[in-house]
A and B are shown apart, each in its own frame.
Chain A
């Protein structure tokens, strides 16, 4: 199926593109975000944060600050320790090559003994107003003895480097591997040629448009705690914070994540501020609100990426990939964030086969602590790092072999008829057709007409380049049993509760969370399509642990593949019960009842009951099979996936370089993705646009840079280059889908493909533009300074030639 041949689209159903219902409130300024919530008698928290990257806290004198106007309370690490509050936990455990568990130092809610990065919270000041809290936070006398800091992985692994945590020798959290080393060594022994690359995956700051915020509230009469927070997964926060940090049982802890203005991963994690305000609200017996400012979010939101890799590809004489060997260092920052250990390991190295039949793969990953903000999942989480490595390496391999970049890819593609395909790095792909996405993308991007366009650019003194990536990624994480075996400390199913009301309208409670994805629209389409009720009669509710039975939230492009599958399961239960009611009303056998287009029909007759009639009967059960059925029409389903899903596709980028300035301009970007079933093509296009924009941001613009003392130099939007409209180009999006074979919708996931597939396409294009300059690789971001430096260094040689 592709987006030009959608069959039988019902208005508001699967395949239609109704406008996003949530946009009515977002675009009219009526979104209801955490900072819009104000509780009666609310106080305000401000955190005093470390301005040095590493140091011993000698003393914190709070006396002057406590005496300042409006101050309600001041808490330090000592108060947290005295209260017996645990550290924020890590949700994924990796074991090293030697079988030992990763080093897992505590991450206290407020720093105890030492500060470990610029931004580490030292004290929480609570006052009647934000300004009063800020005044008092400034008045705290904090005496820190600075220690030498390790602000990057080279420094962290140097001989005699300062230790971020004493228990992590050499600053190593774990030293992990996957794959068959001997098989890879054998492959290299018989290689015709070897392609190698050394690269850095640049560190990024997520920057969702809404900064984080949290409000703690405590009802003394019931003992119930409520946390309003900017989270992608309120149930996960309830579990982590309740069970591991504050010891509050679930029935006394409600977590609400209302409208959330973008997450991109940064709002998955359980942050110390959430625990701090929840705990403090009970201490001061008043609500406590904290709203992060942009400059604070730069030094407290978990950063993304930050890998350094060396990779080698063994090639046969005909260009076949024989073996792949990868060695990666991954920066985890100063503390283990919630899912940090999974990112460079199971979300990354398991994708090293990509779309290729490479028979032998071996990867080693050393994860390191540094005196920087914790690093964790950011849109794509591990898959962009692997895709960048692999798709750059394939271009280098083409050059090494003297082969065409498309030909070497085609030579090594997993053929469409080889599915299901078992890779040498644990994953079994269920479906895909890489030739289909490649061919359509090349056609849309006019790949074959490129050289004429390059010549035209050359006439204007510009260097034009084209690049592609043919990628595959893993989403919809995962069967819980598999995730558990790989180190996950939680299950990874999803939950849906479908509540049919007496008059036939429907409320869906989903355990996923929408923070820009448009679930309120797509999920309503899904339910409308399955039940045959009008799209407008379906309401989607998410983001409140007191309303939704359970849920794991939204990340890893899992909402439709896993959350949507749970919805289908719950809807199936509704239909199944409806059939029994219909059979009773029409005095037929339940086996003869068919459900289609919102009607229960006795097969082969014109006897039928509308869905609404069945709903009404369920709630007004005067004529009802009470012996076998309970009244009501309300079903809950948990869905645990059978496998990951494997979206993929082809991205092609065309750029032009101005050799005078080094500026790279985007000329064209084409993405043809295989994302399985498409519910709303408009939303799919939007997701791909956004993902590609972030990928172009990583490739050309964004870079979190620390100096050697651990100060974040790109610590504001004045120095951290977010992509803007004029950095981008119209993005052409197509889908060329094969269905996921193991979930009921055939959906694979679309949230991250744009950010995963695009960076190597961009850099491959930039390297191609500079093909006459002897360049084989450029690390991201390809800034004007970097490109000019390459051109400038090469120009005497070029002039001589």
Chain B
């Protein structure tokens, strides 16, 4: 990797200031994506602002919402009793990210800020209608995700915590990429008082997306058969050596039905 300056501020304001004063500075959360990028010399930040000293870890119940602070690791989410009681699907999702080492380091805030089109968490945030609370404001998930690797965040804006409304039931089904084990197709479905919400990660050619046709069908009848004939447009799908657009479109249907079925 290239040389860079390293800062580990103890206060959020200092972190924001460090990022705001230098356009080449980058925030470092768990680093499970960013450190490999640095090692391959694909990025040359002037300064790394390590968010590990900000005390941004923790999980709590807040009324009918589950709130997870940005630097909470996947492992903490996967093993938290609070999460298991409130949204077990979220614990299940977290328990299948990467491998054990990644789950001990990777964070929910890092994943949402990076918005990798194959990451698992964006589908949960979108399907659950989460609110992203940042150093500046609150952003609804529907406004937050803006295409692959793109979010509503400003360069010096940090995620502080994420608030997930607790659904009636929810499930996540992932078809992993055979090599990377990222989601090749991941479907998070939630049954809420306001109807069904279903988000797809890994498959879309513009990052995570809500599947309106499936949501409509599931809102009328929350059952796998309700979406059996709902098509997913191939032209919206990614295509690579592991999966054609047609195959991804097909898998969206299979994973969606399985997710609905696993809601019980």
Give chain A nearest CB distance to B41 CB in angstroms. 7
Contact with A along B247-258 (1 / 0, CB 8 A): 100110010000
Contacts of B244 in A (CB 8 A): 785, 789
- Decide yes or no: A660 and B241 within 8 Å by CB, A719-B180, A785-B247 being known contacts: no
A247 adjacent to chain B (CB < 8 Å): no
- A783-B40 in contact (CB<8A): no
- B179-A134 in contact (CB<8A): no
- A783-B175 in contact (CB<8A): no
- A661-B41 in contact (CB<8A): no
Q: Which residue of B lies closest to A703 (CB)?
A: B241
- B241-A718 in contact (CB<8A): no
A705 adjacent to chain B (CB < 8 Å): yes
Of B1, B3, B178, B251, the residue contacting A783 (CB under 8 A) is B178
- Decide yes or no: A721 and B178 within 8 Å by CB, A714-B241, A785-B243, A792-B250 being known contacts: yes
Q: Which residue of A lies closest to B248 (CB)?
A: A785
Contacts of A660 in B (CB 8 A): 254
Give chain B nearest CB distance to A36 CB in angstroms. 20
Q: Which residue of B lies closest to A658 (CB)?
A: B254
Contacts of A714 in B (CB 8 A): 179, 241
Contacts of A131 in B (CB 8 A): 1-3
Question: Complex Cα distance A472/B41, Å?
Answer: 47
- B241-A713 in contact (CB<8A): yes
A717 adjacent to chain B (CB < 8 Å): yes
How many pairs, one residue from A and one from B, have CB atoms within 8 Å of each other in the complex?
45
Of B40, B175, B254, the residue contacting A295 (CB under 8 A) is B40
Contacts of A718 in B (CB 8 A): 179-180
Contacts of B247 in A (CB 8 A): 662, 784-785, 788-789
Taking CB atoms and an 8 Å cut-off, the chain A residues in 766-801 that contact chain B are 783-785, 788-789, 792
A720 adjacent to chain B (CB < 8 Å): yes
Contacts of A788 in B (CB 8 A): 247, 250
Contacts of B241 in A (CB 8 A): 703, 705, 713-714, 719
Contact with B along A709-735 (1 / 0, CB 8 A): 000011001111110000000000000
A701 adjacent to chain B (CB < 8 Å): yes
Taking CB atoms and an 8 Å cut-off, the chain A residues in 12-64 that contact chain B are none
Of the four ranges (under 10, 10 to 19, 20 to 34, 35 or more), the interface on chain A belongs to 20 to 34
Contacts of B179 in A (CB 8 A): 701, 714, 717-722
Contact with B along A355-385 (1 / 0, CB 8 A): 0000000000000000000000000000000
Question: Complex Cα distance A31/B241, Å?
Answer: 37
Contacts of B178 in A (CB 8 A): 701, 721, 783-784
Give chain A nearest CB distance to B184 CB in angstroms. 9
Contacts of A701 in B (CB 8 A): 178-179
Q: Which residue of B lies closest to A702 (CB)?
A: B179
- A134-B180 in contact (CB<8A): no
Q: Which residue of A lies closest to B257 (CB)?
A: A660
Contacts of A134 in B (CB 8 A): 41
Q: Given A719-B242, A785-B247, list of 4 further CB < 8 A pairs?
A: A134-B41, A138-B41, A721-B178, A789-B247
Mark B residues whose CB is within 8 Å of A. Answer: 1-3, 40-41, 175, 178-180, 241-244, 246-247, 250-251, 254
Mark A residues whose CB is within 8 Å of B. Answer: 131, 134, 138, 295, 660-662, 701, 703, 705, 713-714, 717-722, 783-785, 788-789, 792
The contact sample of 24 A-B pairs, CB cut-off 8 A, is A131-B3, A134-B41, A295-B40, A661-B175, A701-B178, A701-B179, A714-B179, A714-B241, A717-B179, A717-B180, A718-B179, A718-B180, A719-B241, A720-B179, A721-B178, A722-B179, A783-B178, A784-B243, A784-B247, A785-B244, A785-B247, A788-B247, A789-B247, A792-B246
